[in-house]
Structure 1
Amino acid sequence: MSYRKKQLLGFGVILFSLMILLIVLAAMLDGVRQNLSEIMDERYDKVSRSAAFRNNFAYLDSEVGYLINENDPQQISSHLAQIDRRSQAAYNHLSYLQLHIGKDGNGNMLGSIQQGLDRYMDVVERIDDALNRGDSEAASTLFVEEAQGIRTNLLRNLGEYTMMQEDRMQTAQQEADNRFGHILMVSAVSALAIILIGVICASWVIRGTGRSLRRITDMMDRFDPGAVERMSRLTIDTDDEIGNIANGYNHMLDALEDHNRRSRTFNQRIEETNWLQLKLNELLLLYHQMPDQKALAQKFLSIVAPAVQASSALFYIRETKDGKTSFSRIASYADGGSPDTQKRFLPGEGLIGQAAIDRREILIDLPDDHAATLRVGSGDFRPKQLWIIPIQADDHVEAILELASVQPFSPLHHELIEQLRSTLGIALQSVSGRIEVERLLQESQSLTEELRLSSQYKSEFLANMSHELRTPLNSILILSQLIAENPEDADSENKSYADIIHRSGEDLLSIVNDVLDLSKVEAGMLDINREAFSLRDFPELIHYGFDALARQKNIEFEIKVAEDVPAFFHTDGKRMQQIVKNLLSNAFKFTSSGKISCTLHPVRISDLPCAAPGAEAAMSAIAVTVQDTGIGIAEDKREVIFEAFRQADGSTERMYGGTGLGLSICREFARLLGGCMTLDSTEGQGSSFTLYLPELPEESV
């Protein structure tokens, strides 16, 4: 074979090989372009649309929930408008997806989503009808039992559709990556073969082709899949396969940059939402920590002003004095402190007063020659924008917020302030209410303290008077007893008079002793002595003094002690006997026939039927029940009889006498011993008083 033939053959082989290589590379790059086109133009758009549909449906579902719990007609109209807007947006996104089904074959899935949305909107209409009828319970039932089930199925179908699109997007991305790898491999191998053949056959062909391929390879080596800014493009102007490769690569970069820009926008929105929620949570926690409205306003400005990039801020609170309402400044942020600034505005006065009347924001772009300035260490700056914001709660403007900035407020700043307006108004009302409660509590504590001093003076007076009365009474009792026991006057009227004086003196002394005991209790001067009291000796101690009275009135009287009571019980035995004797005295006074019984038995601490102060520290307890068949006590008089100097009614006092101190002393002594009392009575059939005494521990005395 001649050199010329070899050269022609080699050159033909080169041309043929180059043609095949370019065809293969063009096909592979076209496949990559198709994969990228599918990812960006079809799959990404469908995923974005489905996400937008989900977002609008979520807001729609939230607005329906708010609508059910809303009572304000204005807010109800607002919720209905939002529901209509969100549902229309959801239908628009769904229609777009149905019009661009393409070769996915997912018409049935979109049809299921369409049916779910239609059913959900049907339930919304039924909820609206129920609310119009005033049947909020039916509306809540529809929302919980029907709407939420439809919502779950719809979101599941939507999730399956979105997952399918994402899977196909990943599949297309993988195919593009694989093809791209093949392109690199084929390009490298083919380039090497062509270079080797070209060195032998045509160095100028090899050099030209190698130069173009090196440019492509260098560009691919600098490829950054996460780049957002514009990357360098291939500038090969040849109208051949290499030029097509360059164009395909350039198209791929265009699609990738667009995808990265969209991702960056989406991530930025997520960050803004998280920032917004963080600020809202920070302020919500702040509301519960401030002692008054001024502190709340100052702390609010110190957080919100930097958040919205305000250069200065003022806070005005609504005040009502002498029937006139005004808005007074209580807090400021970076205020210049000019003496010419006004600190109080009436409704309708200036922008502050006008915002209070109109109940809407006022946003003003200030001219460059505006007189107001912001003062800092390096000089004064003129604000560019002024924002007046009324803070409402319960259909009232509670405060006015004034913000000034050297740059326009962003939509994110507007969104933050809009969400803070209602919560701030409620927080101001809450702080005001808490201050009022604290004021009333202080007044109550002051009155309580005054009453406790006055009570002490009364107790001291009664105690002193009781001691003063006891001395002449003792003399009267002694002298009357001497006269009655004089044998010379045994049959005279003097003995009868002396007996009367002696009995009257004893009654009066008993009253004085009762008053003295009550005064000691009220003054906190009555001592409790803990001792080991013998419960086995209890019947003998109680029988003394009441047996003769029972025989005199012909009344059956018995005392029972349960067998399982302990031999000794730690309490103040004297006070315990005084309580029981007072109860028995009352029983004999108001019982003319029948039976009176006194029963003592142990009880468990957990079974006490009344609130005993010493129950928590005690290990055991006893109960003493005094039961009679007397006149009984009416149900509406059961609390009255325990009050000092009170009896059931006037007829009882006239018929049976007495001062009404006995039961009052019993209850106070029971409380001092750590116990309590209960009453069970039927009018006309008798009464049953039960004393519950926990055992006194040593450390309680």
Structure 2
Amino acid sequence: MMSYRKKQLLGFGVILFALMILLFVLAAMLDGVRQNLSEIMDECYDKVSRSAAFRNNFAYLDSEVGYLINENDPQQSSSHMAQIDRRSQAAYTHLFYLQLHIGKDGNGVLLGSIQQGLERYMDVVERIDNVLDQGDSEGASVLFVEEAQGIRTNLLRNLDEYTTMQENKMQAAQQEADQRFSHILMVSAISALAIILIGVASATWVIRGTGRSLRRVTDLMDQFDPGAVEHMPRLSVDTNDEIGNIAHGYNHMLGALEDHNRRVGEFNQRIEDNNWLQTKLNELVLLYHQVPNQEALAGMFLAIVAPAVHASSGLFYIREKKEEQISFTRIASYADDGPQDTQKRFLPGEGLIGQAAIDGQEILIDIPDNYPGLMRAGSGRFRPKQLWIIPIEAEDRVEAVVELASLQPFSPLHRQLIEQLRSTLGIALQSVSGRAEVDRLLHEAQSMTEELRRSSQYKSEFLANMSHELRTPLNSILILSQLIAENPEEAETEGKSYAEIIHRSGEDLLSIVNDVLDLSKVEAGMLDINQEAFSLRDFPELLHYGFDALAKQKNIHFEISLAEDLPDFFYTDGKRLQQIIKNLLSNAFKFTQTGTVSCTLHPIDIQELPCIAPDARVDPNRNAIAITVQDTGIGIAEDKREVIFEAFRQADGSTERMYGGTGLGLSICREFARLLGGCITLDSVEGQGSSFTLYLPEMPES
């Protein structure tokens, strides 16, 4: 009896032999197709492309000659001649390529005629150029029409003939390739059908001989149950062929698989236990870096560990030292339902908690059935089975004691988890305590450093700016007073002018000193706020009195508008409010040369205030107002809008030189607004103007 292997070899051998014959035939036919395609691509197509490129360059050349004849600008004529040279060189290049690759065409005579025509045309072009150099444009036109165009027509006729011949050759080669491709398809189809028939016959012959034995094997394999780890049914095939070998191998595989399944189950259980253990450990390690204090750490530790080890309740005691006495105090619990009078603090050696703290050893107790203590759940009360006291150590010292109670005995995996957590939890307790102390000290150090750095900067800026600002009016006062003292006769005639300058300089000095004093009082927290019912209806009169003369002097339109629903009185510090608005208006008039300065007052819902002072006490039932000072002045760049509110700072050096000032006004305005519970916002377009808005909530009455 022929074996299954020999049957397969014989059947596949016949199929492979037929395939080899088919491959040889197809290779020969495909080589013919390749030659046709090579002829098309390497010869005909390239020559047609070159002839088209020749025609294109010649057409541009002919056009440039026409432009040359009609051009009157010598510079443009030189450009046309350069284009004629470039196009003629390109045409010669393509023509020489066609002559070098004549191949089997036999078109050398035709290409020679094209070359002669091109040379004759270029001779005429040279004559045209000579005639144009002599200034005879009519003669150049005659040469172009009577000689050049005739040569051009004959040249293009020969080129068209050459191109047509190459296109006909491409078409003939393509038809021949199509015929060969059709033969290949026919031979492939017939050969494939023959191979399929041979394969079907071989497969039928092989399958018929082995189907009965394989059916017995497959019937038993269909009954295979991968869940039957203990025992799997075996095959019983007595043949000596490959089917018998498969049966013996299958039976051996089942035995090995049963043994493997048992080992895999044990291994998977160990992996699962280890993954569970690592997951819980990682979860707790991440927890250690997130808690702010020991109480939070203890509570979250019990919330994670107690369910993990199936504990029904848990308590956490932390080591404390007060007045040189060490004790362990309860700081967290989990599901604890003990009596209200249970002990929350243990001394070392006191009870199980104190004993575990002294020994540093775990205490595991099986609770008897008659134990009176019960734990409460939603469905009733239960008696625990085990009580586990766990000391938590760090650096050879017990830092805490954890008590866990369970309704069932703790498993070895649970004990392994707690064993690995003992050391890390102790270190975490020390770390949390140390981190809290470090954070506290760092916060204090940062606060002190920041206070010292504002203070230092303020003093430096104060000395630099005040020395500069006070020097100018003082110089004026000193110089003028010296002139008056040295020249009393001249002083009598110019005394009034000198006195006015001295008075104005003195006012500037007084204003600077007052600004510095106000800012110093704010910084020192010594500025008094006087709360009063301030009349908003009288506010326009106060502003007109102070700024109408300045507006007329600078020819600037000044307007003040009040909303109709504005309250008559507003509870705040009226003096500081006037200082803020007057400072804003002074800046507006200072930086505005033409246009308008306006002040607008309108009420606003206190809940809709865009900003308030950080420490403001806001009554939601009180009023709030918004006062906007707008000008059409120089505006403020976007990157300077925060700088201008700093003390002694203006937008830039040019602004300070052109308009003067100390840079204290806006800083004082912001500080006064903060003291009144409000804030100041700024909208500005550089070169178009600025708009400062004071948002002010009403102060609560004292």
Question: TM-score surpassing 0.5?
Answer: no
Q: TM-score, normalised by structure 1?
A: 0.41
Q: TM-score, normalised by structure 2?
A: 0.40
